Structure 1
């Protein structure tokens, strides 16, 4: 709020003084710190999901987990492009990597590579991660200030809900029937 007030005061001073206002400044979309946090968290989540999906492609033991990982990889790469595009439009800087916690989770998972325990741990991590992501998205949809960021959250929600359906309960679900059930249930 204070930053908005300072920006409004600066624009008013420039207008009164007769100075030209840059079109970019005049049309700069406003974001709240919550909008910025959503974009940064979503980006880091996508980076972590991309890394975990690639890892599952190499280290999972079941074809179901490998197929789900392929879907998650494809979708999280697309979603991250959208997050980066919106962040650029609203001038939100994004981090370069997942959080330390996300990196540790992947490292711990890799210790179980090529075992059934890997698949179980991967599915549980995906279920928990996608639940948190849905909560993050729902919070942004309800409380976000910037229309572009809220629209992005609304756009991402169905894909994340479908992903949760694929890993719900820490179990692999990759049939057409499972996809339809996930879409109907929204989670």
Structure 2
């Protein structure tokens, strides 16, 4: 009988110790039977949760940081970008002045109409361009260039004689030059926002060129509405590869931050649950 009781006692001790190690904490397991206290085990569990959460947060933030570093720097501005912004702004000023002058001195309705279109579109384009220049810290001129002003004066001097043909010739040359600047910026500009402004302006300038090409007036080329902007701002260009890469990087960064916040909330919830126990 004593032998049977001894076997039963040893078996019960093994079961109790195994249960203690498994975390079920049978009564008395902390008093020397297994050498582990329930409070110590709970604290170890909480520490493991905290360490695992911290690791998850670090991994998420590291991934976001890597994605951001891999994205192209939109703020980098080259000399070409700066020259483009200044040149197009001066061109806008010249076109607005020429359009206003045509409405006063042109002999034909067609040239007067084209002049009003230039004022409308270049005013919108320049509003967006000035906002971009302010963001980039690029100083802009308050007047057209000396050469552009000379052309304006030369055409104005022909008022009442050959004004319309002279005006159309100057506008033809001006828009051909503007398109060349725009295409150069699109192909080799560094700053993504400046390139986007060039892409938004190109169809507008191309439409203006079609209206005066060859020194002949064509009001039928004006669609009435152009992608020159809304509320004085540049219209959104078609996203290019750089834009998609930037958006992807920002999405990863936001995802990493959300993961960190969610992990922190999970830790707090588990701590509250542990305290209730």
Shorter-chain TM range is 0.7 to 0.9
Partner of 2:173: 128
Contact 2:74 2:193 in 1 (8 A): no
Cα 1:179/1:71, change in 2 over 3 Å: closer
Contact 2:74 2:192 in 1 (8 A): no
Contact 1:65 1:119 in 2 (8 A): yes
TM-score, with structure 1 as normaliser: 0.78
Once residues 167 and 202 of structure 2 are traced to their aligned partners in structure 1, the CA distance between those partners, rounded to angstroms, is: 21
Structure 2 counterparts to residues 153-168 of structure 1, below 5 A: 153-168=198-213
Once residues 74 and 187 of structure 2 are traced to their aligned partners in structure 1, the CA distance between those partners, rounded to angstroms, is: 22
Pairwise CA RMSD: 1.6
Partner of 1:108: 154
Once residues 105 and 113 of structure 1 are traced to their aligned partners in structure 2, the CA distance between those partners, rounded to angstroms, is: 13
Once residues 222 and 101 of structure 2 are traced to their aligned partners in structure 1, the CA distance between those partners, rounded to angstroms, is: 23
Partner of 1:90: 136
Once residues 82 and 143 of structure 1 are traced to their aligned partners in structure 2, the CA distance between those partners, rounded to angstroms, is: 21
Once residues 103 and 202 of structure 2 are traced to their aligned partners in structure 1, the CA distance between those partners, rounded to angstroms, is: 24
Once residues 155 and 167 of structure 2 are traced to their aligned partners in structure 1, the CA distance between those partners, rounded to angstroms, is: 7
Asked if 1:56 corresponds to 2:90, the answer is no
Secondary structure, aligned partner of 1:41: helix
Q: What is the aligned residue count?
A: 152
TM-score, with structure 2 as normaliser: 0.53
Question: Shift of the alpha carbon at 1:114?
Answer: 2.5
Secondary structure, aligned partner of 1:31: coil
In structure 2, stretches of 5+ residues that fail to align are 1-72, 227-277
Secondary structure, aligned partner of 1:113: coil
Cα 1:166/1:80, change in 2 over 3 Å: same
Structure whose CA Rg is larger: 2
Partner of 1:73: 119
Residue by residue, what CA displacement relative to the aligned partner does 1:155-183 show, whole Å, maximum 9, x if unpaired?
000000000010011100012xx447xx9
In structure 1, stretches of 5+ residues that fail to align are 1-26
Partner of 1:22: none
Structure 2 counterparts to residues 140-159 of structure 1, below 5 A: 140-159=185-204
Partner of 1:4: none
